[in-house]
Each structure stands twice: as structure tokens, then as C-alpha cells.
């Protein structure tokens, strides 16, 4: 048997050590850059599942009714007629807070302390539905978009990074949309250019990772609901629409660029997408009015089909007003 010299043994050990170090570095880099699953929208009890929610106007007051997947039923009076629903996790405790926006002011019922938080921000005519976590600290940031002629400007009050404003989009032809399209844990400034814009029916995203603009022509604003969401669970928002004429959901997965279409619901149903089974993937879901009642139907990506009669025909669903355009 041939004897290996001590110098050769040392050389082999050195190469093995450097090889292992390179492998660990590569794995750490991959882990750091890999997008994490997006948090479930409208998760009021912190179990990372979308909860059923409706808002009812009674004698000028707004009453929120929640069927939480873990904590059960909850009712809460919050807001007045004309307020916009802007729920989100503003205090960073992992639970969405009930919140409304009234002509320039956010009124937030913090789940962490139960205290009222008042944030004057924006002005009448702004769109506050874009409020999301723009700085990646786990807290929803108050934000509004404002149209002024051909200019659209986003004003964001980041909880960690402070105030910022971004001019992006065309105020005459673009609709502000929500999402984290690059998967870095920070919401991106994004719009959908409607059918009267050029080029028509196009998503535009200002990526927070590198400041680059990405665009994709997809859907038809005159006939589709625009509802970007993460349907494949890769942590990145997918381009998606729902066509009412054939009750079909269409989306392009960011994980592999593949196109998908799925018939779910009836033409007259209202889309209420969310991650109802907590697997990190957005589920196709609709709300159907029948007589004086409303019923949620969900195509859960892991647990399969389910339905729940919840709310009345006159109620409104934040899942629709917040995410669907």
C-alpha cells in the first residue's frame, strides 16, 4: 500500500475544508436570496390563514364580522359610512388589524394592545388600499396613491425607513395594485394600465430589489377582474386576472413562467382570493349572493373545495375591495 506523505494529507484536508466552506457559502446565499412564502391576507388571528370577513353598514356605523380559522367568530364595530376598508398588520404582531381610512386619516384598531391608532395621512380622493409592508419589517405601512393628470404618485409612511414618495404610473390610465412581485419581502409600487392606456392592459412593477421596471401585457381591464396574488407559493406575486364572462381565473406563475387557467365559480360571483388553508398559496375563492345570504366558495390548493355561508347579501367583503380591481 502506498503511503501518503504528511504534506499531501495536509493539502487534501485543506481542499476539503475550502470545498465545504464554498458549499456552505453557496447554500447560505441561496437561502438568503430565496423568497419566503407570502403571509396570508386578512389573517386576523395570526395562524397564517385567510379568515372570512364581511362588513355591514347599520345606522351609519360599520360592523366587522369575522369567521377566524382558529379563534372563531368575532364581531367589531369600527368605522362609519363612507370609510374605506384598509385592514393590515400595522403593529407587527402577526395578526391583521381592523382599520379604516376616512378622507385623509387612518383609524387602526391595534390587535397587539387593543388601542386606537390615528394616523393622519393622505387627502380626500387618494387611494389608501395600497397600504402594505414596503420596508420589510413585518408591519403594514400607511400609504396612498394620488392621481394628478397623467402623473400618479405613491406616498408611503414606512414604519422603519420613514416617509417616501414615488412617482410611478399614469394617473389618467393606470390603476394602483398590490403585491410583492420580486419576492424580497417588501411590497412593490405597481400599476395596471387599463384598456384606455398605451400599451393597454399591462402590468407595470417597480421592483424594490433593484429599482428596475418590469412589465407584462396580460388580461383585459374591460372584461376581467385584476387580482395579482401568489398562486404557486414561491413568495412572488403572480400576474393574474379573472374573466367574469366564463368564470375563469388566468395567471402566469413566476416560479416557471407557465400559464394557467381554471374555471371556478359562476359569472355573477365576486372574487375573494386568499390563502384559506395556510399552505402559502393563494386559493381561488368567490362570494355568491343568494337571496338575503352570501356564501364563500373556496378552491383550496391543499385541502380541496369548501364552502361557508357567512354574511348577508348587503354586506361587503374586504377580500374583494382590497385585492380585486
How far lies 243's CA from each of 221, 222, 270, 272, 306, in Å?
9, 10, 11, 14, 22
User: What is the DSSP track for 224-257?
Assistant: EEE--B-SSSSSSPBEEEEETTTTEEEEE-TTT-
State the pLDDT at residue 36. Answer: 72
pLDDT at 25: 37
In angstroms, the CA 99 to CA 91 distance is 12
pLDDT of residue 18: 36
Q: Is 38 exposed, middle or buried (0-12, 13-18, 19+ CB in 10 A)?
A: buried
Of the candidates 5, 96, 14, the one whose C-alpha atom is nearest the C-alpha of residue 49 is 96
Q: What is the pLDDT of residue 19?
A: 39
User: What is the sign, positive or negative, of the torsion defined by CA atoms of 309, 310, 311, 315?
Assistant: negative
What phi and psi, each to the nearest 5 degrees, are found at residue 277? Answer: -110, 0
pLDDT by 10s per residue, the chain, length 325: 444 444 444 443 334 333 333 333 333 333 344 677 899 999 999 999 999 999 999 999 999 999 999 999 999 999 999 999 999 999 999 999 999 999 999 999 999 999 999 999 999 999 999 999 999 999 999 999 999 999 999 999 999 999 999 999 999 999 999 999 999 999 999 999 999 999 999 999 999 999 999 999 999 999 999 999 999 999 999 999 999 999 999 999 999 999 999 999 999 999 999 999 999 999 999 999 999 999 999 999 999 999 999 999 999 999 999 999 9
| Count of C-beta atoms within a 10 Å radius of residue 321 | 16
295 φ/ψ angles, rounded to the nearest 5 degrees: -130, 135
| pLDDT at residue 130 in the model | 98
The DSSP bridge pattern shows strands 151-158 and 143-148 to be antiparallel
CA distances from 267 to 165, 263, 271, 287 (A): 39, 10, 10, 11
What was the pLDDT predicted at 233?
98
Which three-class secondary structure state does DSSP give residue 78?
A: strand
The per-residue pLDDT for 34 is: 60
Cell 464554498, residue located: 22
- Give, for 65, the enclosing helix (H) or strand (E): strand 61-68
Contacts (Cβ under 8 Å, ≥6 apart) of 239: 203, 216, 218, 219, 228, 251, 252
Cell representation of residue 19: 470545498
58 sits in which H/E element: strand 52-58
The CA radius of gyration of the chain, in Å to the nearest whole number, is 23
| Dist. CA 54–CA 172, nearest whole Å | 31
271 neighbors 242 (Cβ within 8 angstroms)? yes
Strand locations in 89-245 (E): 98-101, 105-109, 116-120, 143-148, 151-158, 162-167, 174-177, 189-193, 202-206, 213-217, 224-226, 239-243
Amino acid at each position: 500500500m502506498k503511503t501518503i506523505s504528511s504534506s499531501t494529507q495536509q493539502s487534501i484536508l485543506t481542499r476539503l475544508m475550502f470545498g465545504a466552506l464554498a458549499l456552505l457559502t453557496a447554500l447560505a446565499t441561496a437561502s438568503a436570496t430565496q423568497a419566503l412564502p407570502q403571509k396570508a391576507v386578512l389573517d386576523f388571528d395570526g395562524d397564517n390563514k385567510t379568515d372570512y370577513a364581511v362588513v355591514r353598514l347599520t345606522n351609519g356605523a360599520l360592523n366587522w364580522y369575522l369567521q377566524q380559522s382558529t379563534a372563531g367568530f368575532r364581531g367589531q364595530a369600527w368605522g362609519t359610512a363612507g370609510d374605506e376598508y384598509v385592514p393590515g398588520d400595522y403593529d407587527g404582531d402577526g395578526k391583521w388589524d381592523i382599520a379604516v381610512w376616512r378622507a385623509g386619516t387612518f383609524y387602526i384598531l391595534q390587535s397587539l394592545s387593543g388601542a386606537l391608532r390615528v394616523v393622519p395621512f393622505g387627502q380626500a380622493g387618494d387611494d389608501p388600499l395600497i397600504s402594505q409592508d414596503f420596508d420589510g419589517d413585518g408591519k403594514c405601512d400607511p400609504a396612498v396613491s394620488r392621481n394628478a393628470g397623467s402623473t400618479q404618485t405613491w406616498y408611503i409612511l414606512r414604519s422603519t425607513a420613514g416617509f417616501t414618495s414615488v412617482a410611478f404610473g399614469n394617473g389618467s390610465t393606470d390603476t394602483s395594485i398590490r403585491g410583492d412581485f420580486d419576492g424580497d419581502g417588501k411590497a412593490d409600487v405597481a400599476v395596471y394600465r387599463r384598456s384606455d392606456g398605451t400599451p393597454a392592459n399591462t402590468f407595470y412593477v417597480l421592483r424594490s430589489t433593484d429599482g428596475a421596471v418590469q412589465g407584462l401585457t396580460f388580461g383585459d381591464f374591460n372584461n376581467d377582474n385584476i387580482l395579482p396574488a401568489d398562486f404557486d407559493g414561491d413568495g412572488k406575486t403572480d400576474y393574474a386576472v379573472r374573466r367574469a364572462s366564463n368564470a375563469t381565473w388566468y395567471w402566469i406563475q413566476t416560479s416557471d413562467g407557465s400559464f394557467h387557467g381554471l374555471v371556478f365559480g359562476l359569472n355573477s360571483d365576486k372574487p375573494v382570493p386568499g390563502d384559506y388553508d395556510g399552505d402559502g398559496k393563494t386559493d381561488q375563492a368567490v362570494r355568491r349572493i343568494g337571496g338575503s345570504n352570501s356564501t364563500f366558495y373556496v378552491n383550496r390548493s391543499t385541502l380541496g373545495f369548501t364552502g361557508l355561508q357567512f354574511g348577508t347579501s348587503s354586506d361587503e367583503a374586504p377580500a374583494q375591495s382590497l385585492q380585486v380591481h
